[in-house]
């Protein structure tokens, strides 16, 4: 499993390659939330999401021979771009399986980063089986989007940064709200915090109806989402928690939160207006929870990770107009 040495090793490989993203805030958002809200703007990361960290950690962390043969990944778009960019920088061949209903901007950008993109049907196809077959056929190393020790270690570098940033602010205790799909970001940040900032507690945030992680944490057993599509938060619709991530979160995370699609969209508009950052709906759910589920949060200060910013522009424009 991912221990603190694995995490700090990943952070070392990422140094000078991943951006150290800023903690932002706005008095308007603080007033809305009724407490101080610090937003970790991971949408400013290379490729526009935290997934660059996990991708880089994996590509740089596997052995050189495997890297030369290449990597393969499946992703709704952000892990795809993170992997593609990391592979390109390492001169490593990269195949990406993407759902055919992923935002066109994410597909186009993954291709622009030099990856070979293969589309699959999110409902009908078994992406795991497709990935396994391609990996075997071409000798590629499969890097899953969350359930992999090196991927979790890469996302955990956000937790190390938060530990430093919180200490710098004299912030000893706070909940860290973060968008959650399979749990790679959540587990990584939780493990980093456990060792380096034990007063920071992770709380996963999901779209309503896709709250498999919250239900799994509450019930003590892995739960699956009834639906596989149907939320605007396309980046975070994994069907169930990861096998590696769930036990970590059972041990370390606080209760999960969920927000409506409309709340995620309004948070996206507010981040544009008051933080001057571009966040995608799935990346905005933690901020949405900070703003609109304030009664389920404790403490004077909450940290919300804005995990990605690869949004379709028509949706972004419509959202700004709707929440003007």
Catalytic residues: 51, 307
Q: Which stretch binds a copy of itself (CB under 8 A): 17-25, 150-158, 206-214, 294-302?
A: 17-25
Of these, 35, 273, 296, 315, which contacts a copy of itself (CB under 8 A)? 273
Complex with a copy of itself: residue 120 or 323, whichever CB lies closer: 323
Residue 260, judged by CB atoms within 10 A of its CB (0-12, 13-18, 19+), counts as middle
Q: How far apart are CA 319 and CA 314, in angstroms?
A: 9
222 touches a copy of itself (CB under 8 A): no
Q: What interhelical angle do 51-61 and 149-168 show, nearest 10?
A: 130
Nearest CA among 161, 2, 185 for reference residue 82? 185
* Beta bridge mates, 47: none
Site for a copy of itself in 98-137 (CB under 8 A): 112-113
Instruction: Tell the smallest beta-carbon distance from residue 226 to a copy of itself (Å).
Output: 32
322 touches a copy of itself (CB under 8 A): no
Instruction: Tell the smallest beta-carbon distance from residue 32 to a copy of itself (Å).
Output: 13
Tokens 């975070």 -> residue: 236
22 touches a copy of itself (CB under 8 A): yes
- The site that binds a copy of itself (CB under 8 A) totals a number of residues, namely 27
Q: How far apart are CA 260 and CA 232, in angstroms?
A: 10
Contact call for residues 6 and 271 (beta carbons, < 8 A): no
Instruction: Tell the smallest beta-carbon distance from residue 246 to a copy of itself (Å).
Output: 30
Of these, 29, 33, 191, 277, which contacts a copy of itself (CB under 8 A)? 277
Complex with a copy of itself: residue 66 or 105, whichever CB lies closer: 105
Direct distance between the N- and C-terminal alpha carbons of the chain, in angstroms, rounded to an integer:
46
Contact call for residues 84 and 97 (beta carbons, < 8 A): no
**Residues 6+ positions from 81 with CB-CB distance below 8 Å:** 47, 48, 49, 51, 52, 106, 109, 110, 113, 310
324 touches a copy of itself (CB under 8 A): yes
21 touches a copy of itself (CB under 8 A): yes
Q: How far apart are CA 135 and CA 153, in angstroms?
A: 22
- Interface characters, 30-49, with a copy of itself (x: CB under 8 A): -----------x-xx---x-
The residues that touch a copy of itself, with contacts defined as CB under 8 A, are 19-22, 24, 27-28, 41, 43-44, 48, 112-113, 272-273, 275-279, 309, 313, 316-317, 320-321, 324
């Amino acid at each position: 499993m991912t221990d603190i040495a694995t995490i700090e090793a990943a952070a070392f490989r990422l140094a000078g390659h991943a951006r150290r993203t800023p903690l932002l805030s706005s008095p308007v958002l603080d007033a809305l939330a009724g407490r101080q809200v610090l937003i970790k703007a991971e949408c400013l990361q290379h490729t526009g999401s935290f997934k660059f960290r996990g991708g880089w950690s994996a590509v740089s962390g596997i052995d050189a021979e495997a890297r030369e043969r290449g990597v393969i990944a499946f992703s709704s778009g952000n892990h795809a771009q993170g992997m593609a960019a990391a592979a390109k920088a390492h001169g490593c061949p990269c195949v990406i399986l993407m759902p055919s209903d992923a935002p066109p901007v994410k597909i186009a950008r993954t291709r622009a980063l030099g990856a070979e993109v293969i589309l699959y049907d999110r409902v009908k196809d078994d992406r795991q089986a497709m990935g396994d077959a391609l990996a075997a056929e071409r000798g590629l190393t499969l890097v899953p989007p969350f359930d992999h020790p090196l991927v979790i270690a890469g996302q955990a570098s956000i937790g190390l940064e938060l530990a430093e940033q919180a200490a710098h602010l004299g912030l000893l205790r706070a909940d860290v709200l973060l968008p959650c799909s399979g749990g790679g970001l959540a587990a990584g940040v939780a493990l980093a915090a456990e060792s380096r900032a034990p007063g920071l507690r992770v709380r996963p945030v999901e779209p309503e109806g896709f709250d498999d992680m919250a239900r799994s944490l509450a019930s003590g057993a892995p739960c699956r989402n009834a639906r596989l599509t149907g939320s605007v938060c396309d980046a975070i619709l994994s069907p169930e928690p990861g096998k590696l991530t769930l036990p970590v979160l059972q041990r370390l995370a606080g209760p999960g939160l969920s927000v409506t699609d409309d709340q995620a969209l309004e948070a996206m508009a507010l981040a544009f207006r008051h933080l001057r950052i571009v966040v995608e709906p799935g990346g905005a759910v933690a901020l949405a929870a900070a703003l609109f589920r304030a009664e389920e949060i404790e403490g004077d200060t909450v940290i919300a990770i804005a995990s990605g910013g690869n949004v379709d522009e028509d949706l972004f424009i419509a959202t700004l107009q709707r929440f003007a």
